[in-house]
Amino acid sequence: FGSGFIVSKQGYVLTNNHVVEGCRKLVTSDGRTLTVVDRRPLVDLALLKVDATPPNIAIFRSGPPPKAGDTVFAFGFPLPDILSSEGNISTGILSATSGVNNNVQLVQISAPVQPGNSGGPLLDSDGHIIGVVVAKLDSLAIARLTGDMPQNINFAVHWAEVKAFLDEEKVEYLSAPSTGQVKASLIADRAKQFSVRIECTE
């Protein structure tokens, strides 16, 4: 299981490669079939398609990129048999514009994520897409290595990698500049409308 979000009026859905890898049948939580269009294992992205006209689609951030310290939101469907089935939103900051060992394909965020968040949208303070949630640091492994438990160290695929993938696939997505004037409750409501829970049934 995992999360994804609709990025075009043609029904294209973006998620992580590791969410769909090895699955023969993918469906949304309401039973709609998802078809794998392409995968990019090196950046952990996958493009799917749902055979339906989406009521709402995500909007990507244009203009100046976000900076370390900016507020971010992660939306998805973590722990689906335990937490709310309508989706969960968490907030934090953009901790760094690169990942582990300065990996420029990732950004580091402090917004809490759990299993099931993978593939969900990372949004800025306007609710515009700036990444795809991908992983959290292995707290137990780091604790064994350092003797201390890391906190709020999570990662998303960098916005440049996400846009490059969609451009290569010739997916027409919407973008708009961000002003940071949108209430958090509205961001959550919008994200809920274009996000989908992804289930591997075979």
Would you please indicate which residues are annotated as catalytic (active-site) residues?
18, 44, 118
Residue in 196, 201, 161 with CA at minimum distance from that of residue 11? 196
* CA terminus-to-terminus distance, the chain: 11
CA–CA gap between residue 99 and residue 137 (Å, rounded): 10
Q: Give the count of beta carbons closer than 10 Å to the beta carbon of residue 105.
A: 17
CA–CA gap between residue 114 and residue 73 (Å, rounded): 14
